[in-house]
Amino acid sequence: MDGISKTELDRLEARELVKNAAPLRPRDAATLILLDRSGDDVLVLMGRRHMKHAFMPGKFVFPGGRTDPADSRIKVADELHPDEETKLRAGTGSVSIARARAIALSAVRETYEEAGLLIGRRGAFSTTKADWQGFAEHGVEPSLASLRFIARAITPPGRVRRFDTRFLSAWRSDVAVELPDGGPTNELEELVWLPLADAVEADIPAITKSVLGDLRQRLTSDPGLRPGGEVPFYRMFNQRFRRDIL
Judge whether 166 and 88 are in contact, CB under 8 Å: yes
Judge whether 59 and 30 are in contact, CB under 8 Å: no
Taking residue 241's Cβ as centre, other Cβ atoms within 10 Å add up to 18
Side-chain half-sphere exposure of 184, counting CA atoms within 13 A:
10
Q: Average pLDDT, stretch 53-79?
A: 85
Q: Average pLDDT, stretch 141-160?
A: 93
167 phi and psi angles, rounded to 5 deg: -95, 115
pLDDT confidence band for 16 (50 / 70 / 90): very low
Q: What is the pLDDT of residue 11?
A: 55
> Among residues of the chain, what percentage have pLDDT more than 90?
68
Q: State yes or no: pLDDT of 77 exceeds 50.
A: yes
Q: State yes or no: pLDDT of 97 exceeds 90.
A: yes
pLDDT confidence band for 1 (50 / 70 / 90): very low
Residue type, 151: A
- Model confidence over 168-216: pLDDT tens digits? 999 999 999 999 888 888 777 789 999 999 999 998 988 999 999 999 9
21-25, 56-60, 104-108 — most confident range: 104-108
Whole-structure pTM value: 0.87
- Write a three-state SS string for 178-240: ECCCCCCCCCEEEEEEEEHHHHHHCCCCHHHHHHHHHHHHHHHHCCCCCCCCCCEEEEEECCE
Q: What is the pLDDT of residue 220?
A: 95
